[in-house]
Amino acid sequence: MNAKAEAGATGLDTAKLAAAAVLLVAGIYGFYYFAAYSTLLRVGGLLAISAVAAAVALQTEQGRRLWQFTGNARTEVRKVVWPTRQETLQTTLVVIVMVLILGIVLWLFDTILMAILRFLTGQGG
């Protein structure tokens, strides 16, 4: 029975998603079609049409799952223990110092290998 319920909802969900896509395309077309009007009005209209399209898309099973995922992600972000300002600055300083040291080491290797190559090929003067 569950498979039948999902199969019935899939056709309606597809129609809703198609309607949302048509709304978005119409909104984008309208944005460029009414180029003579104020940009503020066109952007407002495009945002309004996009909001309606998003509302239609969220009425589908995929939309509900996306909304649930977003809520779960927000809950998980709240559980994160964020580093303090001092920890962030110290970590950033360590990264910068290590990048500089590695850059100098690679530059030295490059210089030494180039000197050896010039010596072996006799192109170094």
Dump the DSSP string for 5-68.
Answer: HHHHHHHHHHHHHHHHHHHHHHHHHHHHHTTTS-HHHHHHHHHHHHHHHHHHHTTSHHHHHHHH
Specify whether 89 is located in the same domain as 117.
Answer: yes
Specify whether 66 is located in the same domain as 113.
Answer: no
Specify whether 64 is located in the same domain as 108.
Answer: no
Q: How far is it, in rounded angstroms, from Cα 87 to Cα 83?
A: 6
pLDDT in tens, 67-119: 999 999 999 999 999 999 999 999 999 999 999 999 999 999 999 999 999 99
Specify whether 75 is located in the same domain as 92.
Answer: no
pTM, entire model: 0.56
| Domain count within the chain | 2
Specify whether 9 is located in the same domain as 60.
Answer: yes
Give residue for tokens 């909802």.
Answer: 9
pLDDT in tens, 35-66: 999 999 999 999 999 999 999 999 999 999 99
One-letter amino acid of 92: T
One-letter amino acid of 76: E
Specify whether 64 is located in the same domain as 116.
Answer: no
Domain that holds residue 18: 2-79
